[in-house]
Amino acid sequence: MFESSKLRSNATITGIAQPVIALIIYAIIWALYGITWALVGLGIIFGIYAILSLAYLFRTRNLWFFVTFIYQTTIILGTFLAPRVGLYAIPKDNFKPLVFLVTVEMAVLIYIIVNKKLKWRGWEVLEMAARNVNEATNGFTDRPRPLGKVNCTRAELVGFSDFLKSKLIAFSIEENDRIIIIPITMGDDYRIPLGLSKNYSEDTRVEFGIDGNVSAQIAKKDYLKYKEALAFDQLVESLGELFISFFEQYQKGEQIRIMYEIEKIKTHPFN
């Protein structure tokens, strides 16, 4: 059971679609060229996944991406070394340790999935921002809203930025005079996190200036994810206050409390 949500269901099949597409490609190559080249094709696909895992690792410093990289690398080895059918086939007895390693890695992957270690928490952030917003007195505006000021140093903001990225609470971009914090939801987890686009003007964001000034904005695409037309100004203010509270908890060394609050928001696993 999931808590009553103010957000529309946004469950996607992205996580399921990727392995399904990989299997379809594998089957087509097998039918056309045989199992050996099908395994080579599968190895190439997992090679792409491994590159993406490394990219996420370097961009977020979330070490769980290294675990997925190791798993993907093991699969690549398996596709090339599979007994009798691999391009560089090895004896069955020599292949058994690799099978055992994959089994252990899959158990770890299940742990990662169940505990949402590699899930961007943008959906939870939007849900938390709307918790105390009920009125529907005004609509969307694309102007960032100033929200006040915090006491901070540049080092604290940079550390806070790194923390948010490593826990996948939000991606952050460091500029000369500010830190831009961008909550990421499923389906939008490539463009900004992988640096495919540096244009965040149409993204939900909270900006912390080096001088301590804080402003926030909720993108229209995210505002429309709510079931009802909530009071926009209140929603933006609530989002900003949420990250201000996160920052203040970070300053106190209470990062675990931030994660506890986020974990309390129960969402569909594919949101």
Locate 186 and state its tokens.
């499923």
In 3D space, the residue among 242, 208, 207 whose CA is nearest the CA of residue 130 turns out to be 242
Residue 76 has what pLDDT? 96
**What distance lies between CA 29 and its chain's CA centroid?**
32
Residue 3 has pLDDT above 60, yes or no: no
pLDDT at residue 142, as a whole number: 59
Return the higher-pLDDT residue of 129 and 267.
129
Rounded distance between C-alpha atoms, residue 247 and residue 142, angstroms: 25
Q: Tell me what the mean pLDDT of segment 171-179 comes to.
A: 93
Average pLDDT over residues 144-170: 91
Q: What is the mean pLDDT of the chain?
A: 89
Q: What is the mean pLDDT of residues 40-59?
A: 96
For residue 1, name the pLDDT band (cuts at 50, 70, 90). very low
Tens-place pLDDT, residues 234-259? 899 999 999 999 999 999 999 999 99
List, edge to edge, every strand of the sheet that includes 145-149: 145-149, 213-217, 205-209, 178-182, 171-174
* 234/3 Cα distance (integer angstroms): 22
pLDDT in tens, 82-127: 999 999 999 999 999 999 999 999 999 999 989 999 999 999 999 9
| pLDDT given at position 133 | 83
State how far Cα 121 lies from the chain centre: 6
Mind listing the pLDDT tens digit for each residue in 205-237? 999 999 999 999 999 999 988 888 888 888 999
- Which is nearest to 217 in space by CA: 167, 131, 152, 147? 147
* pLDDT value, residue 158: 95
**Phi and psi angles of residue 205, each rounded to the nearest 5 degrees, phi first:** -160, 155
Mean pLDDT within 136-140: 60
Per-residue confidence (pLDDT) for residue 270, from 0 to 100: 58
**pLDDT attached to residue 2:** 46
Which has the higher per-residue pLDDT, 154 or 17? 154
182 burial via Cβ count (<10 Å: 0-12, 13-18, 19+): buried
pLDDT digits (tens, 9 = 90+) for 33-45: 999 999 999 999 9
Percent of the residues in the chain that have a pLDDT greater than 90, as a whole number: 70
The answer to whether 271 touches 130, Cβ cutoff 8 Å, is no
